[in-house]
Structure 1
């Protein structure tokens, strides 16, 4: 019985899917929808999936050995000799064993792929849980923010009411201010009229004051002229006095210079006299020192002579003379 050919809605045919699955199986991989689509290079999963299921359904029948098919056919004649059939059966058994080993390896690889996918799925679930928690936290923060915003809105509503009340009060104050401004305007008009009347009066007064000021100015100009004449006369007199003072000052300066020269001469003479006086004092001091030395020497000589001479009961005139000289020397020292 021939299998019915199914054509896909996008031009993918059953035999193409089966051939691609056989190729993938021949490469030692498990035929999956994605691998078959990669082998074909086209086709959607919804189209390739049912065709691949049909390929798996016919796989057992296709893997059945020709000998088993002959044995199941009752009354059919064997077209081949028994040795050929046994050899074919042995080769088919080896092929089945190799296919089983390949399928086992493919299943192991598929199990590993599933483990990797399961781990990736678990990680994705963890990420999703974290994202869910983050969204929950953000939602809670949004709720708190909304509550705060509601409180702000309520506060703003209260402030709006207060502002409306203040606006009503301000409008009342504005009306009162307008009334007061009107009254002030009327008062200002009355004051302006009064000021205009005063200004007219002030103009007349200013005219009178200007006339008086002009008369006063003329009188002051006359006095200024007289003062100028008097100033000229005084200037001439001051000039004469200045000339006389200059002459007197010149004479005084000349006399002062003469006195300064005389003072310099006197100072020089004084310096010479002071120098001579100091020299005389120094000489007097030297003479006095020499005199005292001579007196001391004479006293020593007299003392020595007195010690050598015999004792005289009467008064010694030499001793009296020495005492008199000592007293005079002391008096002279005190006076100096």
Structure 2
């Protein structure tokens, strides 16, 4: 019976090679059979060689189960084959024992290596777990910082919106102040024009009265000269008329002086109003500069800018004076 193999090696080839090695006085081994045949793998030759050893004793004793394999060997050859068989069995057992020990040692070394690798993998797993925990903590910290940054950004946006509203309100106040300043300047121009007109009219009236009085004095004098021959009563009446005219002239001169004093006071009020307007303009410029400075500082520290009281107080005082001046125009006082 033959066993076909993938490489074409059959049992008869292995058996013939083993018999030839045995006749040559050599112990049949897998490597010697492979060298004798010239091909075949150890996995293929090994079971066939085991089978040959299993039937060798029966063939030596003449009890072979395969009559076709009875070669009629002489007893000396059988004895030699039996001796070789015993040696081969011992060598096979020793080889198997050595192979088992080698395999056991290899397995032990492999197990130790696997244990070392397992410990290394456990250490790496622990390190990875620690790194994972650290990364999770870092991620949580980053998330918290991101949330805080978002909150700060929202707060800064709200602060920016509030600042824009404050700036818009301040611009409205500045516009109102500018309009009030223009109204005050317009009233000052009107008052100045009215004062100039009244002054010119007063001077014209004064000159007119003075000319009339002078004409009347001259006429009275002429009448007095012409009436020198008249009675004492006429002289007394002329004196009375002259005194009355002089009294009226003095009264008109006093009125002219009062009007001049009022005109000087009006000019002083005009100069004061112009100084207040210039101070209001300077305060407006300082207010705008302070707003820009506070807006830049608030953008850095994230808080709303507030106008300092030292800036608002002079503006309010100036506005109060401007309103008071607008409530009682100077030209009405002159009238």
Q: TM-score, normalised by structure 1?
A: 0.39
**TM-score normalised by structure 2 residue count:** 0.39
Q: Which has the larger radius of gyration?
A: 1
Q: Which is bigger in relative contact order (C-alpha 8 A, separation at least 6)?
A: 2
